[in-house]
Structure 1
Amino acid sequence: MKIAVIGHVRFPIARPFMGGMEAHCWHLCRGLQTRGHDVTLFAAGDSDWGGKVESVMDVHYDREFPWHKWHGTPELTGHLDAAFERLLPRLAEGSFDVVHNNSLHRFPPRFAARHRIPMVTSLHVPPFDVLKRAVADGGAPWSLFTTCSQRQLGAWFDDADAPFARVVPNGIDLADWPFSPEGDGTAVWMGRITPTKGTHLAAQAAKIAGIPLNIYGTIEDQGYFDTEIAPLINEGVQYGGHLQGVDLTEAIARASVLLFTPLWDEPFGLAAIEAMACGLPIAAVENGAIREVAGDAARYAGADAGELAKALREAIGIPRWAARERVERLFTVEHMLGAYEVLYGRAIDAVGHVSDVPSFEVFELPPALI
């Protein structure tokens, strides 16, 4: 198939990844190409996944319009709207068999529904009003949606029937996260260092539990780091920088447990399955879909450092093989890509065989792809 993938344009789709959305899109493009598809990524012009990139804008928008300062402003909204207005005709004229939309912008789903463009839109975040209205308007037998967890499916579609939506969990390449049979007794935290990710709570819990902690990730909010994280750094809590590739994998695999501390409605938790693949059990703040993802390979707590310290002490005793087995069974990139390919086929077939009156027949994926 000739596939257009639209990336989120806040950050480049390139290593080192700023977050889970960038990692997902990068692996999606590479995985589809490996499976024989002709893939073009439409994203920020400073993206690099090793294949064709067509720029939606010259550089990612967070460089000029940092999200923490410009989110919801007319200036950022206008910047994005102008870019996507330029993009949509290129999608229609590009002779693509299907479009996989990861953009979180409101234009593509409505465009697909109106112009019978086969499209699969992946919803990687909790619902927000502008995009939720576009999702409600943009569903059609050829314009389908995915969420990465059952919790998010219910949130986006108000726990009602979702005839054009399906859960497709995120998947990782197990070769990038090899299993390590034992850890060194330390805890690890990785992700974007920003208040909603709860890095400070991980540091507080590790100090209470008396378990050394290494923190890895990009400092997205410098003020937060300086006031909430830096004062906690000492011999027991260390910041190791924004590692990538093998360096990050080796750092994670050495540890004995991952602290996962979302303070928002986390849609999935890619960092959790990456660590679990290496054999790390999880001590988690139970927000969002983390119990759906980690299951019995984790211990859970509320957003309280004392509770999380107790979960940390308990989680470190979970067998490492149990964490790895769960990822092998549910969260590989092969499972994810296979599920997407089924949906691509559904969207393509619907353009040629479905009348203009929307069909609300619920379709099912094979159990192996759920």
Structure 2
Amino acid sequence: MKIALLAHPRHPIAAPFMGGMEAHAWHLAHGLQARGHDVTVIAAGDSRVGTALHPLMTRHYDADLPWHRFHGTDRLNAYLDDSHDRALQWIASQGFDVVHNNGLHRFPPRLSRRDRMPMVTSLHVPPFDALLRAMRDSVAPWHQVTACSQTHLAEYWPDGAPASCHVVPNGIDMGAWPFVPQGQGHAIWAGRITPNKGTHLAIQAARRADVPLVIFGSIEDQAYFDARIRPELSTDIRFGGHLSGGELAAEYGRASVMLFTPQWNEPFGLTALEAMACGTPVAAIRMGAVAEVIGPSGSYAAPDGHDLDAALLRATQVPRADVRERAARLFGMDAMLDNYEALYRLAIANRNAPASPADFAAIELPPAQVTIARAG
């Protein structure tokens, strides 16, 4: 298949990855290419991918219009609208069989609905108003939708999702996250360092449990890091920087427990899964889909983290082989790719499926009134 893989452009799709969305897009592109598909990634122009790349914009927008300063402003919204409009016009000219939309913009799903563009939209974040309205407006047999957990899907359709909506859990290459049978007695925290990831709660819990902690990740919110994280660093609470995948896998394996501390309705929890693949159990704040993914491979604490220290100590008792087995059985890369390929074929096959004209009411169109070319 000739596949357009549309990514979110806040950060480049490049290792070391800023977060789970970037890692997902990179590994998805490479996994599809390895299966013989013709893949073009449409993403920030400073992305580094081993496939064809079409720039959605010259460089990732956070470099020029940082999300923490410009989120919700007319300036950023106009920039993203223009970038997506131009990218969709380019997509329309290329004869793609299917578009896999992994972005957060409202134009792609609505264009799929209006112009019968075969598309799979994979949701990666909790619903926000513009995206939620676009998804509900865009239900169609040729527009298949995935969420990464049952909890996540129910946030978008609490009264029951349409037949074109599915759960496809995130998958990882288990070979990239090798099993280590014994940790070295310390805890690890990894992810984007920003308030909604709750890094400060991991520090507090490790201190109360008297367990050393090493923190890894990109500093997304410098003010948060300077105010809440940097002053707490010591010989027992260390910041190890932003690591490549291989380096991070080694650190997961050395740890005896991972602390996972979301302060939002976590749709999945990719870093927790990576640690699990290495055999490292997880002490997690129970929010969103956390328990759905981790299951018995860890222990849980309240959203405010007041009992996370006790969860940390309980999690260290979980057998590491059981943790690895769950990750391999439920969240392998091949299962994710199999599911996506099946949905691509379904979206293409349903291109001409019946749809009620009333369903097209109130569809917002991008300025250029793009008409998507149909392959085949």
**2:41 is matched with which residue?**
41
Structure having the larger proportion of residues in helix:
1
CA distance in 1: counterparts of 2:229 and 2:322, whole angstroms: 32
Letter in 2 for 1:20: G
- Residue 32 in 1 paired to residue 32 in 2? yes
- Residue 80 in 1 paired to residue 41 in 2? no
**1:107 is matched with which residue?**
107
CA distance in 2: counterparts of 1:121 and 1:305, whole angstroms: 33
CA RMSD of aligned residues (A): 1.2
Maintained 8 Å contact 1:204/1:232: no
**2:373 is matched with which residue?**
none
TM-score (normalised: structure 2): 0.93
**1:177 is matched with which residue?**
177
**1:367 is matched with which residue?**
none
CA distance in 1: counterparts of 2:144 and 2:321, whole angstroms: 36
CA distance in 1: counterparts of 2:290 and 2:242, whole angstroms: 23
CA distance in 1: counterparts of 2:74 and 2:304, whole angstroms: 37
**1:134 is matched with which residue?**
134
Deviation of residue 48 (structure 1)?
Answer: 1.2
**1:223 is matched with which residue?**
223
Look up the SS of the partner of 1:296 in the other structure: coil
Letter in 2 for 1:3: I
Q: % of aligned pairs identical?
A: 54
CA distance in 2: counterparts of 1:123 and 1:73, whole angstroms: 23
- Residue 61 in 1 paired to residue 61 in 2? yes
Structure 1: runs of 5+ lacking an equivalent = 361-370
- Residue 17 in 1 paired to residue 6 in 2? no
Size of the aligned set, in residue pairs, is 358
CA distance in 2: counterparts of 1:93 and 1:343, whole angstroms: 23
**2:259 is matched with which residue?**
259
CA distance in 2: counterparts of 1:23 and 1:245, whole angstroms: 9
**2:327 is matched with which residue?**
327
CA distance in 2: counterparts of 1:38 and 1:284, whole angstroms: 39
Deviation of residue 161 (structure 1)?
Answer: 3.4
CA distance in 1: counterparts of 2:314 and 2:116, whole angstroms: 52
CA distance in 1: counterparts of 2:128 and 2:306, whole angstroms: 32
CA distance in 1: counterparts of 2:119 and 2:275, whole angstroms: 32
CA distance in 1: counterparts of 2:161 and 2:217, whole angstroms: 38
- Cα deviations by residue, 1:130-154 (Å, 9 ceiling, x for unpaired): 1111111111100111000101111
4+ runs deviating over 4 angstroms: none
- Cα deviations by residue, 1:302-353 (Å, 9 ceiling, x for unpaired): 134440000001001100011101111110110100000110010000014x
Structure 2: runs of 5+ lacking an equivalent = 360-376
CA distance in 2: counterparts of 1:307 and 1:287, whole angstroms: 14
Look up the SS of the partner of 2:339 in the other structure: helix
Look up the SS of the partner of 2:184 in the other structure: coil
Maintained 8 Å contact 2:139/2:162: no
Higher relative contact order (CA 8 A, sep 6+): 2
